[in-house]
Amino acid sequence: MSTTEKTAAANLALSPRAAEEVRKFIAQEQIPLDQAGLRVSVMPGGCSGFRYELHVEERALADDITIETNGVRLFVDTFSAQYLNGTTIDYVSTMQSSGFTFENPNATGGCGCGSSFTV
């Protein structure tokens, strides 16, 4: 499968605010922005069955889907892509907490922690 076909296999977006925060994390890791990206994955577990994971990585793996959004590369494995298609990742900061949030149209339920979901 070519990179173009892999890219078309998932639709995932970062809000401008989330992209800004990811660029800060990449700068802290001292990885060149032209190579680095944010790995977005779904893992079994969490309160509701699946949980989101985010990690800054130096480069995509050979079988990753790479998506460019708001100047940041997202690296997604094919297992996670099926659960993340159509998801928007935002960054929210309140007086009580701050962190990434997920608006996932595939989720049929979730829990109060915001990082776990059911499909």
CATH number of 3-118: 2.60.300.12
Residue ranges of domains in the chain: 3-118
Give this prediction's pTM. Answer: 0.81
C-alpha pair distances (Å), 31 with each of 38, 45, 84 = 12, 30, 25
Tens digit of pLDDT for each residue in 51-88?
A: 889 999 999 999 999 999 999 999 999 999 998 999 99
Please tell me the predicted confidence (pLDDT) of residue 18: 97
Tokens 């990811």 — which residue? 22
Q: How many CB atoms lie within 10 A of CB 86?
A: 12
Residue 59, token pair as written in the block: 């480069």
